[in-house]
Amino acid sequence: MQALELLVDDETDDAVRREWVALSRAGLPSQADHTGTTNAPHITLLATGELPACDEELTAALSGALPLAVRLGPVVAFPGRRLVLARLVVADAALLELHATVVTASRAVPSPLTTPGRWVPHVTLGRGIPMGDLGAALSLLRAPGLDGSATRLRRWDSVAKQTSAVVG
């Protein structure tokens, strides 16, 4: 899998990481448990099997698009066998335009969850939360929304397990 991900400013990154730590200290699954050097709070704009556009093409298409104001909103639990907890990101016109531009410039076939019109922008806090622990997890994540900015765009290559900067 290849992905294009927005990274957030330092203050927003720190706030999300504090939530990761709160979950981890409570013994709950958390992104803090993933200690790889590429693990960072991010908003996935595109996930795809193949990303035809090179970084230079993406950089040219996104010139001047960042930084972009973003608002992290309430916590949501995405369903499944085990829950994924995330902070929703308010999908305003500017973010939706950036998403559409990235998908078009990538020349990729987006995964169903990153297809324009179906994409739910979010920042993951923890994966694999048991249903019985949802209340405890939510009680740790009561912070109000957070205004920040998306400052960088990176490419994630899941096979090579590495990232490369595209913008910023």
Q: What pLDDT score was predicted for residue 80?
A: 83
Mean pLDDT, residues 143-156: 93
Q: What pLDDT score was predicted for residue 82?
A: 83
pLDDT value at 81 more than 90: no
Q: What are phi and psi of 101, to 5 degrees?
A: -65, -45
pTM, two decimal places: 0.95
Least confident of 93-107, 109-123, 137-151: 137-151
| Domains of the chain: total | 1
- Counting Cβ atoms within 10 Å, is residue 87 exposed (0-12), middle (13-18) or buried (19+)? buried
CATH of the domain at 30: 3.90.1140.10
Full residue range of the structural domain in which residue 160 is found: 2-167
Q: What pLDDT score was predicted for residue 92?
A: 97
Show the 3-state SS of 105-125. HHCCCCCHHHCCCCCCCEEEE
Mean pLDDT, residues 85-114: 97
Tokens for 152? 């960088």
